[in-house]
Amino acid sequence: MTTTAILGAGAMGESVLAGMIGAGRPLDSLLVGEKREARAQELRDTHGVDVVDNHAAVARADVVIVAVKPQDVTTLLDDLADVLRPGQVVVSLAAGLTLATLESHVPEGVAVIRVMPNTPALVGQGMSVLSRGTTCTDDQLAEAEQLLTACGRVVTLPESQMDAVTAISGSGPAYVFLVAEAMIDSGVRLGLARDVATELTVQTLLGAATMLDETGTHPALLRAQVTSPGGTTAAALAQLEDNRLRGAFAAATTAAYERSVQMSEH
Ligand SMILES: NC(=O)C1=CN([C@@H]2O[C@H](COP(=O)(O)OP(=O)(O)OC[C@H]3O[C@@H](n4cnc5c(N)ncnc54)[C@H](OP(=O)(O)O)[C@@H]3O)[C@@H](O)[C@H]2O)C=CC1
Ligand SMILES: O=C(O)[C@@H]1CCC=N1
């Protein structure tokens, strides 16, 4: 089995790490690169994974997942130039960092794949979208797809779609968490205990998402099935339309898209 190094085990890197471990990937096939010793020990204690410095991790890896902040990626790759070797694959999770930029910061013979994951990778329910670099072989792409399948679903798309992907599935969990907060707080305002409001909200989101997934039915039809004539749902939906929920989502995702484009211009 190939060895995978994850450089940067913050929110996203640790989610991918936990997803892979949760899916049964052997611990001896995973490595984390971390510079702060306290954090390294925390990762060893939590996940039982080997945590070393970046150079040692890259020296032992076939696939190098880069999960540091976008503004730190090129400096990190430049610093690794003496240890990266032909045949390795660098998988960047960074928002707004193009394949062309990534390829200009790795030595010749090192392939690059750009990925937009999301944090539900932590529980094996992530969505990862891959775009292959110019020198990435079919086998290298298949290996990365298989690796990320441990974290949830995987699709491969042209890089031209990555800004839109980032706006929908990359940032998307945050929109859903905000909706969850709003529903829970509304339940509390209407007199439910917070733990009860939380359980009702979480199961409702999970149930609705599972229905969408398993039935393949258009969301408008599923919504109509909940909406009794003259009933409670119709009253609520009229308020959401009056308060421009669709317009708010269109504006929010356009802002995320434009920010992703802007980040790729630097
Ligand atoms: N969060 C998300 O939902 C998503 C994030 N991404 C992408 O993932 C990347 C990481 O984002 P996120 O996890 O949110 O950010 P975090 O700040 O949570 O994580 C970044 C991690 O990188 C570590 N780090 C910084 N420099 C180095 C280095 N030289 N070597 C090793 N580790 C280093 C940081 O450690 P320290 O704190 O000690 O500096 C930190 O743990 C970004 O590029 C982002 O665009 C993509 C999709 C979704
Ligand atoms: O907010 C961000 O920039 C990152 C990328 C997608 C989700 N989080």
Any atom of ligand 1 within 6 Å of the Cβ of 119? yes
Ligand nearest to the CA of 91: 1
What is the pLDDT, as a whole number, of residue 1?
A: 84
pTM of the model: 0.97
Tokens encoding 263: 């980040």
Tell me the percentage of the chain whose pLDDT exceeds 70. 100
Question: Is the per-residue pLDDT at 266 higher than 80?
Answer: no
Strands 50-52 and 30-33 turn out to be: parallel
Distance 196 CA to ligand 2 centre (A): 31
Distance 250 CA to ligand 2 centre (A): 17
Closest CA to 67 of 9, 131, 112, 117: 9
CATH 1.10.3730.10 segments of the chain: 172-264
At 35, the pLDDT band (50, 70, 90 cuts) reads confident
**CA distances (Å), 45 to each of 38, 40, 41, in order?**
11, 9, 6
Query: Which of 171, 260, 263 is the pocket-test mutation for ligand 2 (most atoms within 8 Å of CB)?
Result: 171
Q: How far apart are CA 203 and CA 5, in angstroms?
A: 35
What is the pLDDT, as a whole number, of residue 110?
A: 98
Chain segment 37-67, per-residue pLDDT in tens: 999 999 999 999 999 999 999 999 999 999 9
CB atoms within 10 A of CB 12: 24
Tell me the fold of 4-159.
Rossmann fold (3.40.50)
Chain segment 68-94, per-residue pLDDT in tens: 999 999 999 999 999 999 999 999 999
Token pair 């030595």: residue:
107
Strand partners of residue 116: 129
User: Which residue is closest in CA terms to ligand 1's atom 19?
Assistant: 10
Across the range 172-192, mean pLDDT stands at 98
Residue 80 DSSP code: T
- Ligand 1, closest atom to CA 12? 13
Pick the CATH number of 172-264 from 1.10.3470.10, 3.40.50.720, 1.10.3730.10, 2.30.29.30: 1.10.3730.10
Token pair 């390294």: residue:
40
Q: Which residues are CB-neighbours of 256 under 8 A, at least 6 positions away?
A: 166, 167, 170, 171
At 216, the pLDDT band (50, 70, 90 cuts) reads very high
Chain segment 126-150, per-residue pLDDT in tens: 999 999 999 999 999 999 999 999 9
Q: How far apart are CA 16 and CA 11, in angstroms?
A: 9
Is residue 13 within 8 Å of 119, Cβ to Cβ? no
Distance 170 CA to ligand 2 centre (A): 6
CATH 3.40.50.720 segments of the chain: 4-159
Ligand nearest to the CA of 7: 1
